[in-house]
Structure 1
Amino acid sequence: MSAAHHFSGWQGAALFAGPPVLALAIGLFSSSPLSFGGWVDGLCYASLLLLMAWGILFVIQGNFFTAFRISCKRFFAPWRRQESFIRQVEGGQIESGQAQGGHSEASFQSRVMAHGLFFWVGAGYFALSFICSLFLLK
Structure 2
Amino acid sequence: MITLYKKLSEIAFNYFIGQKVIEVDTDKNLPLGLALEAGHLNIECPWRLQVLNTVAIGYSDCIQSPENYSHKNVKKILFGKRIVNILHFEAISDLVVEFEGNIYLELFHDSSFFEGWQLQGDNGFYLFTLPGGSYSD
In the superposition, the TM-score normalised over structure 2's length comes to 0.19
Name the structure where strand makes up a greater proportion of residues: 2
Q: Which has the larger radius of gyration?
A: 1
In the superposition, the TM-score normalised over structure 1's length comes to 0.19
Name the structure where helix makes up a greater proportion of residues: 1
Query: Relative contact order, CA 8 A, sep 6+: which one is greater?
Result: 1
